[in-house]
Amino acid sequence: MGLRDIRKNLLTDKKEIDTERLCSRFEQYDFVSLGDMKCRQRVKVAGEIKRMRIKPRSGIPAVEIVISDGTGEITVIFSGRRNIPGIDHGGCIMIDGVPHQDGDRTVVLNPAYTLLA
């Protein structure tokens, strides 16, 4: 790490640094970016798990995770589950499903998923 890198880190906003890190992390994959994704069309997207919680929906347990690839965020809901082995904060996941708008957020219900290294 050189003097220029240190200066850049000091002058750059933390959110901007995180966005650059995520964009470079997922550019090797040939997936649709979350910023370019269209609703109601099947897509394959990948991202890093930012938030995770268990939230019942209509009395049924559900795991909600929020993933980000630096260009946007998407909420993924797995209905009828209390936990999903292998899914942890900071991990990478590929989602294959159909997104839709739910208020001000984009949601995918019960998608196929693959854990990424």
Q: Which residue has the tokens 């590929």?
A: 94
38-96 confidence digits (pLDDT tens): 999 999 998 889 999 998 888 899 999 999 888 889 999 999 998 899 898 888 899 99
Count of CB atoms situated within 10 Å of the CB of 88: 12
pLDDT reported for residue 11: 60
Rounded CA gap, 69 and 106, in Å? 14
Rounded CA gap, 70 and 85, in Å? 25
49-60 confidence digits (pLDDT tens): 999 999 888 889
Phi first, then psi, for residue 64 (nearest 5°) are: -110, 130
Domains of the chain: 3-116 (2.40.50.140)
Which amino acid belongs to residue 2? G
Phi first, then psi, for residue 109 (nearest 5°) are: -100, 130
Query: How far from 41 is each of 12, 36, 69, 98, 113, CA to CA, in Å?
Result: 36, 12, 19, 6, 16
